[in-house]
Amino acid sequence: MTGLPKTRLQQLYISVTRPFVMGAYRLRERRRFRKNFPLIWKTPGEIIHLDLGNYEPEGEDFKLDKKFVDDLVVARDAARTKANRIIFVNAMIFAFLLTDYFSIGLKFSIPGVTVVDPKGVRDLLIFFSSVSGIYSLILQNNMYTIESAMKFSILKNFPEELRGIYVAKYFYSENFSAPSPIQLPYISYSRLYTKYFIAASVAFMILLLIYLGLYMALYVTIAIDVWKSARLGIWSYIIAVASITNGALGMSYLILTRMRMPYTDYTVLHELQGLPEIAPSQFERRRNEVYGEGVADYRRLVERGYIGAEDP
């Protein structure tokens, strides 16, 4: 379908206004796309829960039961042990670098290695810390994935009365809140307790953010001091930039693997694929609801001469 022949004046008008008309059309298309395929904000753990919610075991060996959870505990604990070792070493390195920066003086030692004179070695230590920190975050992400599957199984397949106890057993480092009684509906938290718990939780999160911000500020300060000191010449400059870059990448990786991120929901496509088999009479109506406005908009632009037959 193409537009009708235009006079020179009409063609000139179309040429002048085409960028604006097509820009508005692209915006309308984007709005329609987001209406049909909206963004949903979910954490990776929530995506795992949604995915496992559609899982149907094909045999007795792959049921999401207590045996499944116990099998995952071994792998989770192995990853946690490795990550904790890296965190401990990095904490010692950071303490050593911090005391050296403030000229306090501290010997740094791990089995088989003792650092007394920090000249030059400090540059290598901060670089090692930045690289091993990323590796630790990868291990922790594996733990997060495993634990998300474990939590799904506990919430869906364990008795409600025992869920809190098993959460405390498998996720003792996350069991922040006090246990809530299930079989005692006539006993509830008092208003004083609830307000105090909320205040304590908010204070805990604020302090955690402050500590994290302070750590990042000190880390960047030490990296800048490595740059200024340049004890290894040009290599100090490279190490300082690489260390800050690795820290930023690690923080970005942490955000991507823990925080809510946008996902495009293509449920409408799944619905349209299934309607011909489930309800054929509703397929045309539903497809017109989804794509009808966009098709009509496109045809109007073709008739007005803004889109030719060669255009997509």
Print pLDDT tens along the chain (312 aa). Answer: 455 556 888 888 888 899 999 999 999 999 999 999 999 999 999 999 999 999 988 878 889 999 999 999 999 999 999 999 999 999 988 888 888 888 765 555 555 555 555 566 888 889 999 999 999 999 999 999 999 999 999 999 999 888 888 988 899 887 777 777 777 777 777 888 888 888 988 998 999 999 999 999 999 999 998 898 888 889 889 999 999 999 999 999 999 999 999 999 999 998 999 888 888 888 889 999 999 999 999 999 988 888 875 554
> Are 94 and 21 within one domain?
no
Half-sphere CA count of 59, side-chain side, radius 13 A: 2
Q: Are residues 26 and 121 in the same domain?
A: no
Please give the pLDDT value at position 101: 81
Side chain identity, residue 1: M
Full DSSP string of 160-229: HHHHHHHHHHH-TTT--SPP--SS-TT----HHHHHHHHHHHHHHHHHHHHHHHHHHHHHHHHHHHHHHH
Assigned domain for 123 exists: yes
173 and 258 both lie in a single domain: yes
Sequence letter at residue 148: S
Question: SS3 of 255, please?
Answer: helix
For residue 231, the SS3 value is coil
19 and 122 assigned to the same domain? no
Are 169 and 285 contained in the same domain? no
Q: What's the pTM?
A: 0.80
Q: Is residue 61 part of a domain?
A: yes
pLDDT for position 107: 59
Residue 239 belongs to some domain of the structure:
yes
**Is residue 52 domain-shared with residue 32, that is, in the same domain?**
no
The answer to whether residue 118 is domain-embedded is yes
Distance CA 219, CA 308 (A): 58
Residues 259 and 276 in one domain: no
Q: Are residues 30 and 130 in the same domain?
A: no
Residues 233, 293, single domain; the answer is no
Residue 232 belongs to domain spanning: 48-178+219-264
What tokens does 121 get? 């070695």
- For 75, residues 6+ apart whose C-beta sits below 8 A from its C-beta are 146
**Contact yes or no for 43/257 (Cβ under 8 A):** no
Greatest Cα pair distance in the chain: 87
**Residue 209 counted as domain residue:** no
pLDDT at residue number 105: 55
Residues 272 and 256 in one domain: no
Q: Could you tell me if 187 and 181 are in contact, meaning their C-beta atoms sit under 8 angstroms apart?
A: yes
**Residue 102 belongs to some domain of the structure:** yes
Give the integer Cα–Cα distance in Å for 60 and 274: 30
Q: Residue 274: what pLDDT? A: 87
The count of structural domains within the chain is 2
